[in-house]
Amino acid sequence: MTQRTSTGLSGVVVADTELSLVDGAAGELVIRGLSVEQLATGSFERACHLMWFGALPSAAELGELTSRLQAARVRAARLVPELGLALSASDGMDALRASVSQLTLPSEADHVARAIELTAAVCVFASAWARRTRGLAPVPPSALGHAADYLRMVHGDDAPPSWVRALDSYLCTVIDHGMNASTFAARVVTSTESDDVSAVVAAIGALKGRLHGGAPGPVLDMLDAVGAPELAESYVDAMLARHERIMGMGHRVYRVRDPRAFVLEGALERLEASGTAQGRLSLARAVEQVAEARLLAKYPERALRANVEFFTAVLLEALGLPRELFTPTFATGRVAGWCAHVQEQRRAGKLIRPESRYVGPRPASESLSTS
Ligand code: COA
């Protein structure tokens, strides 16, 4: 029996997964047995270990994975001079898509080795693109952790520890999220027995759209346009009167506030309290409050609340990242989750091939009889 198509596959289960659980009613995100709040207290490398090996690392294992990612960043950086055209794209996600597609992974590499190469490459290529768009030379990787090295490769200087902790929290928070559109894209490609690079390239394309990972830049544009908390009401009202979507609000699965919004809001609070960065938390909160109330009045059945992108925008801005780098930074964290899904899909070994309902014309009976 064919399924209705207008639902965007909402509520359709397409895979069994051990990787993450998104409970939209309770507002809960569980990643391989840890709540997102627990995962976000550690480093990105710790979260990668959990995703790729299925267990939290010992101190020795964490050190080993950290070193392997460092070495892979060095290998990826060697490719940067050859990526001229790919990295000259004006959009960071276009640059990532084009540059990652030029990777060739060693055929003998196991799934963790492939995940390491891809995760390192996205980090290095995103930061090299950010430098290039500002007319700056790429900064070579160093012996830092992944988050610290990313900030260093973007800014050219070591970031304060509070910034590194905040970015680690962010990368862990976005590492995986159920059957989101980019993960689904990666799994569809893998299910055809294609390769990991192709799967990640497809996922990058899906993440780019503003209904998925492309929202945080526009969130910041909105905060700029609002300007001050007391102007939030008139701005949001005008947007809704023009039938525009408020970026960073609403979610396909959550019917309460996205749990990742709490984690990122907390990370921003700590960052502001450390005195090492000045974010726009109070303006963001004012806009969120007004948007939530207005959307509730407009869609009483739907509960459109802040999603991860809302606080991504203000957190990454506080870390000095340019807004055009927000979605590539999302990819820098999510690529680790895509790689875990690629492996899980490969084990499942089943082609994903849904059906469509044809609503176009059928051949006329005369042309059938003459053919
Ligand atoms: N602002 C204003 N209206 C919104 C809205 C928003 N952020 N999100 C949903 N709506 C409205 C839609 O316009 C639609 O109204 P209609 O029935 O009058 O046409 C209704 O709510 C249902 O929207 P729909 O697109 O069917 O819901 P969805 O579950 O497919 O969409 C999102 C989920 C995330 C794509 C959607 O909430 C959205 O576009 N949010 C803004 C973009 C964003 O923040 N993306 C990042 C997601 S993590």
Encode pLDDT of 93-112 as tens digits: 999 999 999 999 987 889 99
Positions of the chain with pLDDT lower than 50, given as ranges: 1-2, 371
In short, whether 299's Cβ falls inside 6 Å of ligand 1 is yes
* Protein residue whose Cα sits closest to atom 8 of ligand 1: 250
User: CB of 72 within 8 A of CB of 112?
Assistant: no
> Cβ neighbours of residue 321 under 8 Å, at least 6 residues apart?
130, 154, 329
Using most ligand atoms within 8 A of CB, pick from 207, 223, 244, 249 the residue to mutate for ligand 1. Answer: 249
Q: How far is the CA of 356 from the centre of ligand 1 (A)?
A: 24
CA distance 343 to 114: 10
Q: How far is the CA of 261 from the centre of ligand 1 (A)?
A: 17
In short, whether 323's Cβ falls inside 6 Å of ligand 1 is no
* Protein residue whose Cα sits closest to atom 36 of ligand 1: 250
Q: What is the pLDDT at residue 1?
A: 46
Which residues are the active-site residues? Answer: 251, 309
Q: What is the pLDDT at residue 6?
A: 66
Q: What is the pLDDT at residue 261?
A: 97
- Report yes or no on whether pTM surpasses 0.85: yes
Model confidence over 73-90: pLDDT tens digits?
999 999 999 998 899 999
CA distance 209 to 205: 8
Maximum alpha-carbon separation in the chain? 80
In short, whether 197's Cβ falls inside 6 Å of ligand 1 is no
User: CB of 183 within 8 A of CB of 341?
Assistant: yes
* Protein residue whose Cα sits closest to atom 17 of ligand 1: 299
What is the number of the ligand 1 atom nearest to the C-alpha of 258? Answer: 48
What is the number of the ligand 1 atom nearest to the C-alpha of 251? Answer: 34
In short, whether 245's Cβ falls inside 6 Å of ligand 1 is yes
CA distance 98 to 92: 10
In short, whether 308's Cβ falls inside 6 Å of ligand 1 is yes
Q: How far is the CA of 245 from the centre of ligand 1 (A)?
A: 7
Tally of CA atoms within 13 A in the half-sphere of 123 that contains its CB: 34
